[in-house]
């Protein structure tokens, strides 16, 4: 890592995108010392990361990720940064199956719990879904089932060298916000939840730099990293480079208001039960929260002309049983490959 670039960072200067890419390459180099990694992460955190700097690290990390060889078109992801402290159930993971049941193609990128009780990987593993799909299996699942899961540590092996430094620092770093952006599958659409309202426009800028043609960045009522039924949600719509900010309340789209404590989750077993209850259409706050987020996802993907229409399509995905079918296919596929690998 060039000393000149490290000096610029630690003195509070912003780096140009190409400069940040050079720093990012060094971050993932096994020969870079932990002290230099810590200096970079701390400097970015103290000053605040620019959109160019976030995009630069994401692009480098994607280059080093598990390769997805096929150019699969029309793929989206729906994921939040975490960090909102809400202890909610796995909203985006549940919504992913609803989106797939409605015809979206979902490359669901996720991890184990970091800032919540149960991460997406924890709950999907509890349901019997494999976490180590190969690139060929991801491609097959996207084409045949319309949804595949990519476990972040498996598809990003270079992150291991940074994990210890992040744990030792014990404070949020740029890696707390880039997780949802590092999907190795080329995405056209993204529904991105952030726990920091001041990051909405910046993250929309990052999505644009990463080639997302249309997407939504949301900060929910109570500063959740998902859309919430508890009040006013703040959103930014990115469409072909244009950005539009707006707010949304549940009553605007015909949904009932619920406090955020009505959607609390628990451990992996409890959250798996909640996920299944939603996909089986059990009414209540869990279901309506998923309808809202899946509806936003369908609108962001251009599969609905407005959010209300997206919610209606999400509801039909559940009531028809198609959302549950997508989950069951992934479970059966995982069982089959496990049996084949052990024989």
- Please check if 82 is assigned to a binding site: no
Specify the fold of 75-159+169-328.
Answer: Pyrimidine Nucleoside Phosphorylase; Chain A, domain 2 (3.40.1030)
- Please check if 111 is assigned to a binding site: yes
- Of 149, 174, 165, the closest CA to residue 331 belongs to 149
pLDDT of residue 116: 55
Q: Are 29 and 62 in contact (CB under 8 A)?
A: no
In this structure, the strands spanning 242-248 and 233-239 are antiparallel
- Please check if 112 is assigned to a binding site: yes
Least confident of 26-35, 73-82, 112-121: 112-121
Q: What is the pLDDT of residues 187-238, one digit of tens each?
A: 999 999 999 999 999 999 999 999 999 999 999 999 999 999 999 999 999 9
pLDDT of residue 127: 97
Q: Are 47 and 57 in contact (CB under 8 A)?
A: no
- Please check if 293 is assigned to a binding site: no
- Of 213, 219, 169, the closest CA to residue 199 belongs to 219
Taking the domains of the chain in order of start, what are their residue ranges? 3-62, 75-159+169-328
pLDDT of residue 113: 66
- Please check if 88 is assigned to a binding site: yes
- Please check if 93 is assigned to a binding site: yes
- Please check if 80 is assigned to a binding site: yes
- Please check if 116 is assigned to a binding site: yes
- Please check if 271 is assigned to a binding site: no
Q: What is the pLDDT of residues 119-174, one digit of tens each?
A: 889 999 999 999 999 999 999 999 999 999 999 889 998 887 787 888 788 777 88
pLDDT of residue 23: 96
- Please check if 92 is assigned to a binding site: yes
Band of pLDDT at residue 337, cut at 50, 70 and 90: very high
- Please check if 241 is assigned to a binding site: no
Tell me the whole-structure pTM to 2 decimals.
0.93
- Please check if 120 is assigned to a binding site: yes
Q: Give the Cα separation of 98 and 279 in Å (integer).
A: 8
Q: Are 323 and 281 in contact (CB under 8 A)?
A: no
Please, what is the Cα angle at 230 between 278 and 289, to 5 degrees? 15
Residue 111 has pLDDT above 90, yes or no: no
- Please check if 315 is assigned to a binding site: no
Q: What is the pLDDT of residues 273-324, one digit of tens each?
A: 999 999 999 999 999 999 999 999 999 999 999 999 999 999 999 999 999 9
Specify the fold of 3-62.
Answer: 1.20.970
- Please check if 110 is assigned to a binding site: yes
- Please check if 83 is assigned to a binding site: yes
Q: Are 207 and 190 in contact (CB under 8 A)?
A: yes
pLDDT of residue 322: 98
Mean pLDDT taken over the chain? 93
Band of pLDDT at residue 114, cut at 50, 70 and 90: low
Which tops the pLDDT comparison, 76 or 72?
A: 76
- Please check if 146 is assigned to a binding site: no
- Cβ contacts of 42-49, under 8 Å, gap ≥ 24: 42/169, 42/173, 43/9, 43/10, 43/12, 44/9, 44/173, 44/174, 45/171, 45/172, 45/173, 45/174, 46/12, 47/9, 47/12, 47/14, 49/174, 49/177
- Please check if 113 is assigned to a binding site: yes
- Of 113, 153, 108, 114, the closest CA to residue 129 belongs to 108
**What would the 3-class secondary structure string for 85-120 be?**
CCCECCHHHHHHHHHHHCCCEEEEEECCCCCCCCCH
């Amino acid at each position: 890592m060039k000393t000149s670039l490290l000096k610029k960072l630690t003195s509070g200067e912003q780096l140009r995108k190409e400069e940040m890419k050079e720093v990012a390459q060094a971050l993932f180099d096994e020969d870079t010392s932990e002290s230099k990694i810590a200096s970079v992460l701390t400097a970015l955190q103290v000053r605040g990361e620019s959109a160019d700097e976030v995009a630069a690290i994401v692009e480098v990390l994607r280059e080093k990720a598990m390769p997805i060889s096929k150019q699969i078109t029309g793929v989206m992801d729906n994921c939040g940064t975490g960090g909102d402290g809400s202890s909610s159930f796995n909203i985006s993971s549940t919504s992913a199956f609803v989106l797939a049941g409605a015809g979206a193609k979902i490359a669901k990128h996720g991890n184990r719990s970091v800032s919540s009780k149960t991460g997406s990987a924890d709950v999907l593993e509890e349901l019997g879904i494999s976490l180590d799909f190969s690139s060929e299996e991801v491609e097959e699942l996207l084409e045949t089932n319309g949804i595949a899961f990519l476990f972040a540590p498996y598809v990003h092996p270079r992150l291991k060298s940074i994990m210890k430094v992040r744990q030792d620092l014990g404070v949020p770093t740029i890696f707390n916000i880039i997780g949802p952006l590092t999907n190795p599958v080329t995405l056209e659409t993204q529904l991105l939840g952030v726990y920091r309202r001041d990051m909405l426009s910046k993250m929309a800028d990052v999505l644009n730099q990463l080639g997302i043609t249309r997407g939504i960045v949301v900060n929910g009522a109570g500063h959740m990293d998902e859309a919430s039924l508890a009040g006013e949600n703040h959103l930014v719509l990115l469409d072909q480079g244009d950005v539009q900010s707006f707010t949304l309340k549940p009553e605007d789209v015909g949904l009932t208001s619920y406090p955020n404590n009505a959607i609390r989750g628990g451990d992996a077993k409890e959250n798996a039960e909640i996920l299944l209850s939603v996909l089986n259409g059990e009414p209540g706050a869990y279901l309506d929260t998923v309808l809202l987020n899946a509806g936003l996802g369908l609108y962001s993907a251009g599969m609905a002309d407005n959010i209300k229409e997206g919610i209606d399509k999400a509801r039909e995905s559940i009531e028809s049983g198609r959302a549950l079918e997508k989950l069951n296919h992934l479970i059966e596929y995982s069982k089959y490959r496990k049996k084949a690998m052990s024989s």
